[in-house]
Structure formats: structure tokens, C-alpha cells
Amino acid sequence: MTFKNVNLLKIAEIAKFNPDERMDFEESVKIYRDLKNSIDTAREEGSDKRAIEIAKSLKMLGVDIKTIQESTGLSKGQIEKL
């Protein structure tokens, strides 16, 4: 069975839900998406903080801004402000 067929089967099952089941399903999807977005945001913020820490260290070592940009993904302006 292909991935596409599995998705179609899931869609068909959801289509059979009664109104209460559909409401419960939609609420569970909402909760899942909220949690996933929270986790993704936390990861991004942690990654950003780490990039800033690395940039500060590299700047203190006298590494040129272009190399720091390439190493961290930060902009020239962000690095200059550190």
C-alpha cells in the first residue's frame, strides 16, 4: 500500500465521524499543532541564542564579520551590535 493510499484511508475514516467525534478530532489536531509550534519555536529560539553566543566568542577572538556570518547565519548588523 502506498503512502497516498494510506492518507486516503485516513481521510475516509475521518469522513465517517459523527459530529462529536469530528469535534474531538479537530480539538486533538488543534492541540497537536499548538504543541508542535511551541516546540519548534523553542528550538528556533535556542538555536538563535547559541548562534549569538558563538558569534560573540568569534568576535572576541578577532574573527572577521564575514566568517562569523557564514558560521552563524547572523546578519552583519546583528554581529556588529554584539
Q: Is the model's pLDDT at 1 over the cut of 60?
A: no
In a domain, 9, yes or no: no
Contacts of 78 (CB under 8 A, 6+ apart): 52, 55
In a domain, 15, yes or no: no
Predicted confidence band at 11 (pLDDT cuts at 50, 70, 90)?
confident
Predicted confidence band at 65 (pLDDT cuts at 50, 70, 90)?
very high
Q: Which domain holds residue 59?
A: 20-81
* pLDDT attached to residue 6: 66
Predicted confidence band at 22 (pLDDT cuts at 50, 70, 90)?
very high
In a domain, 77, yes or no: yes
In a domain, 1, yes or no: no
Residue 55 φ then ψ, to 5°: -60, -40
Q: Is the model's pLDDT at 80 over the cut of 80?
A: yes
Our count of domains for the chain comes to: 1
In a domain, 13, yes or no: no
Number of helices (H), then strands (E), belonging to the chain: the values are: 4, 0
In a domain, 26, yes or no: yes
pTM of model > 0.85: no
Q: Give the CA angle between residues 13, 8, 28 to the nearest 5°.
A: 50
Spatial separation of the C-alpha atoms in residues 15 and 12, rounded to whole Å: 5
